[in-house]
C-alpha cells in the first residue's frame, strides 16, 4: 500500500518538534501557577513569558491576552462575554455576524437568537467576501458586537477585516468588532493595530501547537462578563492554567512567522489547476487571489460528499467535506449556501488543506486520487 497522504491540516496539524521540546521543558514547572511558593512562581514565569511572546507576535499588550481551552471557547467568551455584560446592565444588545461563520459562532448566534437576542446575518457575494453594504445597513444604535471570520474554515476566503471594522465603527463608534483568526494564524499577518479589531480569537493545534489551548485578544474598549467566574486570566476565565499547553502555544505562534507561505500557495494553486483540468463538473470555491495559502475547496456535480470523502480515505487520502467541527452531521453547509451554490447539483463538497511540509509529489498524487475516485463514483 502506498504511503497515505494527509491533506487536512485545516482541521489539525501535528506538534512541531520545536514545540514539543518547549513543552517538555515547561513540564518541569508543574506547580500551580497561582501558588505563592517558589515552584508556583516558576510556573507563573513560564506563563508570563508565553503571554508576552504571544502579545508581541500580534502587536498587543500582555494584559489583553486571555488564555482559553481553544478557539471554540474563545469565540464563546467573545460573544457571550460582550452580550451578557450589556444585558446585565439592562441593555438590549444587537449582534451582527456573517452567514459564513465557523459553527462555534454560527450555531451560538442561532441559539442566542432562539432565546430572544436580536441577531442580523450579513450577506456575502459569490466570491465569499462580505457584502459591505449589507454589513453597513445592519449596524444600528444598539449594535453591541459584530463578528466576521478572518479566513474561512471551509473555503479559505480571507476578509478585509480592517476595512470591515472601519465601516462598522464609522457607523457606530460604540460597536465592538470580533474576528475569529484561528484559521488564519500563521498563514496571514495578524496584528491587532492593523486589523482594527477589538477581540481576536486564536488557537494552537492548527499552528502545529497543542490541542486544548487558545487565546482571546481583548482590548480596552471591550468589557466582558466572565463565563467561568474566578480570579485567573484577569478575572475573565477561571481555572488553573496549563503551563505546558500555554508554553507550546506561544512557541508555535512564534515559529509560524517563518512558515513557507508562498511555497504552499504555489502547491495549493497547482492542486486547484490539476483538479479543475482533470475532473468535469467542478466549482472552485477557493479563489487563489483572496484566500489563505493552504486551503483548496471544491464542489463536484452529482457526488455525495460523505461517500466521496470515505472513498478518498480508503484510497489513502485524508480530506474533509468542510469544517471538521461539523463533519459527521449530514446537513448542507451554511457557507456554501451563502455563496449561492446550487447544492442539489453541486453536492460533493471537498476541502483539501496543505501543511508546511506538503510536497509536490503529494499534491500530484492527491489530484490523481480525487480524479480516479470521482470517476468511480460517477460510474466511469
SS (H, E, C) 225-286: CCCCCCCCHHHCCCCCCCHHHHHHHHHHHHHHHHCCHHHHHHHHHHHHHHHHHHCCCEEECC
In Å, the largest CA–CA distance within the chain is 70
Q: Which of 325, 343, 364, 377 is catalytic?
A: 325
Position 68 pLDDT exceeds 50: yes
Give the whole-angstrom CA distance, residue 184 versus residue 316: 27
Question: Could you read off the pLDDT of 272-305 as tens digits, one per residue?
Answer: 999 999 999 999 999 777 899 999 999 999 999 9
pLDDT at residue 287, rounded to an integer: 78
Position 162 pLDDT exceeds 70: yes
Position 324 pLDDT exceeds 50: no
Position 359 pLDDT exceeds 60: yes
Show the domains of the chain with their CATH numbers: 5-12+259-377 (3.90.1150.10), 17-257 (3.40.640.10)
Contact 205, 248 (CB under 8 A): no
Position 336 pLDDT exceeds 80: yes
Report how far apart the first and last C-alpha atoms of the chain are (Å, whole number): 23
pLDDT at residue 304, rounded to an integer: 93
For residue 359, report the phi and psi dihedrals to the nearest 5 degrees: -110, 160
Q: Which residue has the cell 469565540?
A: 75
Half-sphere exposure of 276 (CA within 13 A, CB side): 14
Mean pLDDT for all residues in the chain: 94
pLDDT at residue 322, rounded to an integer: 72
335 is known as an active-site residue: no
pLDDT (average), residues 340-354: 94
Least confident segment among 145-159, 190-204, 232-246, 324-338: 324-338
Dihedral sign from CA coordinates of 154, 155, 158, 161: negative
Contact 86, 63 (CB under 8 A): no
β-pair type (176-180, 199-203): parallel
Position 51 pLDDT exceeds 90: yes
Position 330 pLDDT exceeds 70: no
Least confident segment among 166-180, 189-203, 285-299, 349-363: 285-299
Half-sphere exposure of 48 (CA within 13 A, CB side): 8
Question: Could you read off the pLDDT of 226-262 as tens digits, one per residue?
Answer: 887 776 877 787 688 999 999 999 999 999 999 999 9
Dihedral sign from CA coordinates of 51, 56, 62, 64: negative
- What's the CA dihedral at 266, 292, 294, 318 to 10 degrees? -140
pLDDT at residue 113, rounded to an integer: 97
Closest to 217 in 3D by CA, of 244, 179, 251, 249: 179
pLDDT at residue 239, rounded to an integer: 84
Give the whole-angstrom CA distance, residue 183 versus residue 355: 13
Give the whole-angstrom CA distance, residue 350 versus residue 295: 10
Position 107 pLDDT exceeds 90: yes
pLDDT at residue 289, rounded to an integer: 76
> Any bridge partners for residue 340, and if so which?
none
Q: At what angle do helices 243-255 and 38-58 cross, to 10 degrees?
A: 30
Question: Could you read off the pLDDT of 5-33 as tens digits, one per residue?
Answer: 999 999 999 999 999 999 999 999 999 99
pLDDT at residue 226, rounded to an integer: 83
Amino acid at each position: 500500500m502506498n504511503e497515505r497522504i494527509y491533506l487536512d491540516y485545516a482541521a489539525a496539524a501535528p506538534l512541531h518538534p520545536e514545540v514539543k521540546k518547549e513543552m517538555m521543558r515547561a513540564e518541569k514547572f508543574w506547580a500551580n501557577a497561582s501558588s505563592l511558593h517558589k515552584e508556583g512562581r516558576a510556573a507563573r514565569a513560564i506563563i508570563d513569558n508565553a503571554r508576552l511572546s504571544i502579545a508581541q507576535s500580534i502587536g498587543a499588550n500582555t494584559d489583553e491576552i486571555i488564555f482559553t481551552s481553544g478557539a471554540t471557547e474563545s469565540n464563546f467568551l467573545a460573544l457571550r462575554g460582550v452580550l451578557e455584560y450589556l444585558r446585565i446592565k439592562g441593555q438590549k444588545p444587537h449582534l451582527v455576524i456573517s452567514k459564513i461563520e465557523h459553527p462555534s459562532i454560527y450555531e451560538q448566534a442561532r441559539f442566542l437568537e432562539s432565546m430572544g437576542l436580536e441577531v442580523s446575518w450579513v450577506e456575502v457575494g459569490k466570491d465569499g467576501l462580505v457584502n459591505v453594504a449589507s454589513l453597513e445597513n445592519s449596524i444600528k444604535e444598539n449594535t453591541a458586537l459584530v463578528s466576521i471570520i478572518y479566513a474561512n474554515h471551509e473555503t479559505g476566503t480571507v476578509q478585509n477585516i480592517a476595512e470591515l471594522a472601519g465601516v462598522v465603527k464609522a457607523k457606530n463608534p460604540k460597536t465592538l468588532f470580533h474576528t475569529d483568526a484561528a484559521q488564519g494564524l500563521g498563514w496571514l499577518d495578524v496584528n491587532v493595530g492593523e486589523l482594527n479589531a477589538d477581540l481576536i480569537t486564536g488557537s494552537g493545534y492548527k499552528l502545529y501547537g497543542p490541542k486544548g489551548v487558545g487565546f482571546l485578544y481583548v482590548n480596552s474598549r471591550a468589557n466582558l462578563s466572565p463565563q467561568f467566574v474566578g480570579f485567573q486570566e484577569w478575572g475573565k476565565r477561571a481555572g488553573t492554567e496549563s503551563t505546558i499547553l500555554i508554553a507550546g502555544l506561544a512557541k508555535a505562534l512564534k515559529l509560524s512567522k517563518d512558515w513557507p507561505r508562498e511555497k504552499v500557495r504555489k502547491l495549493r494553486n497547482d492542486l486547484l489547476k490539476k483538479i479543475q483540468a482533470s475532473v468535469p463538473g467542478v466549482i472552485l470555491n477557493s479563489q487563489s487571489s483572496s484566500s489563505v495559502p493552504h486551503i483548496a475547496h471544491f464542489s463536484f456535480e452529482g457526488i455525495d460528499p460523505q461517500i466521496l470523502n470515505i472513498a478518498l480515505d480508503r484510497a489513502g487520502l485524508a480530506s474533509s467535506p468542510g469544517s471538521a467541527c461539523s463533519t459527521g452531521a449530514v446537513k448542507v453547509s451554511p457557507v456554501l449556501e451563502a455563496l449561492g451554490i446550487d447544492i442539489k447539483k453541486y453536492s460533493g463538497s471537498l476541502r483539501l488543506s496543505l501543511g508546511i511540509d506538503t510536497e509536490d509529489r503529494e499534491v500530484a498524487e492527491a489530484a490523481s486520487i480525487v480524479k480516479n475516485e470521482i470517476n468511480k463514483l460517477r460510474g466511469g
